[in-house]
Amino acid sequence: MKNINWLLASLVTAVFILSMFSGYANAQTPEEQYNLYKEKYENAKKRFEDARGIFEKARERSGNINDIRSKEELKNRTKDYLLRAIDQTISHLEILKYRVELRENKDIIKFDASGTIEDQISQLEGMKVKVEGAETAQDFRTIYTELKDLWINIRLETRYYIGIVLNYRINSFLEKVDNVSIKMDEAITKLDSKGIDTTKLKAEADKFDSIVAEAEANQKKTDDLFEVHNGFSSDGTVTDVSAAREFLRQGDELERGTIKTIKEAAKQLKDFVKEFRKLARGLVTIEGGSTETLSGI
Amino acid sequence: MKIAHILIVLVIAALTLGCIGNKQAETRSVDTVVQPAQTTIAPSVTAVPGVDDPFGTDMDVAALDSMLADSTMDISLMDSI
């Protein structure tokens, strides 16, 4: 009995201690880890926006009442605004670092994007120390200029990294749909051999192929653009801010266009599958099993 | 004897809380991933291919959308302070 009591008490204690770490233990899938970073980012963003609002009010008050108390308050609010801005920037970088470090993304970027992001995080951490020690308005202005300059590079470089990964993924998707096209043709042939009228199904397949061709043409332009990567050196750092901005603007527009077309293709594929099932009535399968995915082809 | 008790307690507690026995899903995915092109474990996408999405294209599209959203994250810094 004594042993059982001791065992129960120990169990409760152990559960309590381990529960403090269970959040980390449970955040095991990439999706869960990503969500943790995303949640942290959203919180940091909210805190930054609150700090910005409070700082703006303090600055306005300080303009009307120029006493020591309001000056001190403005100093504290400025400090808070800067710290929260740096925190949000770090959270932003953590998400993107996580993205580029994901195992399936690791070989896509040909330079050390993760190392660059780490350096930027270190610079930002250093900036926080400077903010804590800042005393005068000039001190704060100098740090703020430094932060804004760093942010310009961070924003451009991280958009470039994600653009590369996204581009790779779009190409992979288009390769997959080429395989789907083959499966669709095979399915039509199977139905034809059973004497089933496939006129409508063929029309659905043609429509799908036409949408995919449009996406591929658009994607070719994106590939060409990323091949040149105007404004960025081969190690992924910005060499010309305005050229980099223009390159990313064009890349973003093209990638969005391709994704929009890909969505249309996915919708068209569903229409095809629906029509196929109506005709096949379970006698013929399109994918060799309903759980088979493109990745298994 | 006491050490054995402590070990039993810790293992039971850890199992209860999922601290052990849950291998990294990333590792799991590596077993099934043939090439980096596959987006079946893309962050923020939980769907699995089903009857309505036999080729898993919805998952791929959701992964692309999620990545696109991350590329547009921004911070509203004031012009000056």
CA A117, CA A158: separation in Å to the nearest integer? Answer: 8
- Evaluate whether ipTM surpasses 0.85: no
Q: What is the pLDDT of residue A107?
A: 86
Tokens of A55: 């700082």
DSSP summary character for residue A284: S
Nearest residue to A249 via CA among A222, A224, A214, A219 = A222
Residue B66 C-alpha, separation from nearest chain A C-alpha, in angstroms: 10
- Looking at per-residue pLDDT, the higher value among B73 and A65 belongs to B73
pLDDT band at B32 (very low <50, low <70, confident <90, very high): very low
Q: What is the pLDDT of residue B53?
A: 74
Answer for the pair A174, A117: CB distance below 8 angstroms, yes or no.
no
Interface contact B57-A266, CB threshold 8 A: yes
Tokens of A273: 């599958």
DSSP summary character for residue A240: -
CB-based contacts of A189, cutoff 8 Å, min separation 6: none
Which residues of chain B neighbour A85 with C-beta distances below 8 Å?
A: 75, 77
Task: State the best of A10, A62, A81, A104 to mutate against chain B, taking most chain B CBs within 10 Å.
Answer: A104
Answer for the pair A295, B34: CB distance below 8 angstroms, yes or no.
yes
Interface contact B77-A147, CB threshold 8 A: yes
Q: What is the pLDDT of residue A185?
A: 92
Interface contact B36-A107, CB threshold 8 A: yes
Beta bridge mates, A238: A232
Whether B9 and chain A come into contact, CB under 8 Å, resolves to: yes
Buried/exposed B42-74: b ≥16 CB within 10 Å, e otherwise: bbbbeeebeeebbbbbbbbbbbbbbbbebbebe
Tell me the pLDDT tens digit for each residue of B6-30. 666 666 655 655 555 444 433 333 2
Give, to the nearest 10 degrees, the angle between helix A241-280 and helix A199-228: 160
Q: What is the pLDDT of residue B9?
A: 62
Whether A19 and chain B come into contact, CB under 8 Å, resolves to: yes
Whether A251 and chain B come into contact, CB under 8 Å, resolves to: no
DSSP of A94-161, one letter per residue? HHHHHHHHSGGGTTTSSS-HHHHHHHHHHHHHHHHHHHHH--SHHHHHHHHHHHHHHHHHHHHHHHHH
Compute the mean pLDDT over every residue in chain B, rounded to the nearest whole number. Answer: 63
Beta bridge mates, A232: A238
Q: What is the pLDDT of residue A148?
A: 96
pLDDT averaged over 10-residue windows placed end to end, chain A, 297 residues: 60 57 61 92 97 94 80 94 98 95 89 95 97 94 96 95 95 92 91 93 96 97 97 96 97 96 94 90 62 30
Q: Which residue has the tokens 């994607």?
A: A219
Least confident of A240-254, B27-41, B52-66, B67-81: B27-41
CA A295, CA A216: separation in Å to the nearest integer? Answer: 19
Option in A17, A107, A263 nearest B61 (CB) = A263
Whether B17 and chain A come into contact, CB under 8 Å, resolves to: yes
CA A294, CA A264: separation in Å to the nearest integer? Answer: 17
- Looking at per-residue pLDDT, the higher value among A4 and B67 belongs to B67
